[in-house]
Amino acid sequence: MKANKFLKFGLALMLTLNLASVEAQQYGETMKDKRILISGAGIAGFTLAYWLKQRGFSPTIIEKYPHVRGGGYKVDVRGTALEVAKRMGIYEDLLEANVNLAGSKFVSSDAKVFEFEGDILGHSSIGEIEINRWDLAQILSKKVGEIEIIYGDSITKIDEKMVYFEKMEPREFDIVVGADGQYSNVRRLAFGEDSKFLRRYGIQFCVFPIPNIFELERCEIVYFDNGKLVTAYAVGDHSYACLAYKSEDQAPSPNKALFEKQFQGLDWEVPRLISLMKESNDCYFNSIAQVRMPSWSKGRVVLIGDAAHSVQAMGTSLCMVDGYVLAREIAESNGDYALAFERYEKTMRKVVETSQDLAETNQQAFTDSSMRMKFQLYLMKILPKRIIQYFTEKGKKQMKEVANALTLEPIPKMTQKPSDRQD
Ligand SMILES: Cc1cc2nc3c(=O)[nH]c(=O)nc-3n(C[C@H](O)[C@H](O)[C@H](O)COP(=O)(O)OP(=O)(O)OC[C@H]3O[C@@H](n4cnc5c(N)ncnc54)[C@H](O)[C@@H]3O)c2cc1C
């Protein structure tokens, strides 16, 4: 009796294994052999690499820096991106690293300090996560595990078959993914100059680590003067500052000297922060801009994250969802990458455009008048708390709706064929 049961179990197991291998041949093999190159070891690049690996691919990442880039201010993970994080098994890690600010301090140009409870400047609603960018990059890179990452090199040319590099010998790749940020190198090579796609708002910023000179704990401090903005925050031993200014100068790569010039003559702690910026070897410079493109793919090249559609406040979340969706479509297109790219774009475009439109409306104008700013701060101080809350929550609610606009398909059962998918 027992032997009979055992035999039945063995037969069932063999049948299952056999079916699985037939299924792998039918749906996987053709695509799994595809060589996929991802440019950029950032949030988008790592998320995509993880999901491609999960689907049986062995992607290669190329990163122009000699290591995963550290640094950065806090960024938001919200809406559908939280579902992606849950499916990756990193949600608990993100929760643990949640910045969760308890207070904000505003300093006017005459050094008056206005204190508020909670995260007045942040965009996160309850249930969403705000995290140091560096923590997020580390969590993702750890989760990806073993893959080929080429550091310190960059793509110079992509032709029909080959990809050429600054240092390495040319190599063959079937798909090239640009996940290399707002000023994407792959986008420039495949689609043309930045000016065709960048919508700039004339705000330059620089983020760098500082010692906790303001003695903050789970708190952000903000200083406005004459169209210049200084912010800093600290959580545990992580303390960062950001300097921002508005300028008509379209230079895509502002530098320390430019920032020093712009902030010259300002009071408060600004001179000290400028010295810290000058000493820092970990400054991240960027400008506030949106990338808007009519299409995110061309031939075998496809863009994700900021490279395709950078947007304020939603960029990190969208790029994680991009990574999930693109990997799914590549895996399920049976070698037809044009179809994969088309389906990826069809899924993402609406939510991206709604986010970009909302961000543009919310774009906070840099005030040139310190008096006006001071008046607004006084107003915030004298108005009842619930009125302030009403206005801050209203903005956050809109953002939350957009962030949740895309629902991912349920996790497919192992026996379900890709062609059975319902979404
Ligand atoms: C160091 C750093 C700090 C940041 N700090 C902030 C911040 O404080 N606030 C904020 O809102 N956003 C910040 N961002 C941007 C934010 O991470 C993105 O807006 C968002 O997460 C979308 O991510 P992404 O992966 O598309 O692009 P990114 O996070 O920008 O990643 C792009 C990656 O591509 C790499 N790369 C660039 N050029 C090439 C090339 N030629 N070849 C190969 N690799 C290349 C970059 O080094 C980077 O690792 C920062 C980005 C970086 C890289």
Instruction: Provide the pLDDT confidence category of residue 108 given band limits of 50, 70 and 90.
Output: confident
What percent of the chain has a predicted confidence (pLDDT) above 90? 59
User: What is the Å distance from ligand 1's center to 188 Cα?
Assistant: 16
Residue 238 confidence (pLDDT) above 70: yes
User: What is the Å distance from ligand 1's center to 180 Cα?
Assistant: 7
Question: Counting Cβ atoms within 10 Å, is residue 419 exposed (0-12), middle (13-18) or buried (19+)?
Answer: exposed
User: What is the Å distance from ligand 1's center to 386 Cα?
Assistant: 37
Q: Which residues line ligand 1 (CB under 6 A)?
A: 39-45, 62-65, 69, 71-73, 75, 133, 154, 179-181, 185, 207, 284, 305-307, 310, 315-316, 319
Q: Are strands 74-77 and 103-107 parallel, antiparallel or unpaired?
A: unpaired
- Mutational test site, ligand 1, from 284, 290, 355, 356, max ligand atoms within 8 Å of CB: 284
User: What is the Å distance from ligand 1's center to 182 Cα?
Assistant: 7
- pTM for this entry: 0.87
Phi, psi of 41 (to 5 degrees): -95, 60
User: What is the Å distance from ligand 1's center to 133 Cα?
Assistant: 9
Closest by CA to 26, choosing from 418, 423, 414, 338, is 418
Q: What is the pLDDT of residues 194-224, one digit of tens each?
A: 999 999 888 889 999 999 999 998 899 999 8
- Residue at token pair 């919310």: 362
Residue 416 confidence (pLDDT) above 60: no
- Mutational test site, ligand 1, from 37, 60, 62, 63, max ligand atoms within 8 Å of CB: 63
Q: Using CA atoms, how far apart are residues 74 and 121, in angstroms rounded to an integer?
A: 12
Higher pLDDT, 318 or 200: 318
In the β-sheet with 238-246, what is the strand arrangement from edge to edge? Answer: 113-117, 103-107, 219-225, 228-235, 238-246, 198-209, 284-291
Q: What is the pLDDT of residues 25-68, one digit of tens each?
A: 444 445 667 899 999 999 999 999 999 999 999 999 999 999 99
Residue 24 confidence (pLDDT) above 90: no
Q: What is the pLDDT of residues 174-195, one digit of tens each?
A: 999 999 999 999 999 999 999 9
The DSSP call for residue 410 is P
Q: Using CA atoms, how far apart are residues 222 and 217, in angstroms rounded to an integer?
A: 14
User: Ligand 1, closest atom to CA 307?
Assistant: 26
- Residue at token pair 């090579």: 189
Closest by CA to 290, choosing from 306, 268, 279, 274, is 306
Q: What is the rounded average pLDDT for all residues in the chain?
A: 84
H or E stretch covering 133: helix 133-144
Q: Using CA atoms, how far apart are residues 331 and 334, in angstroms rounded to an integer?
A: 7
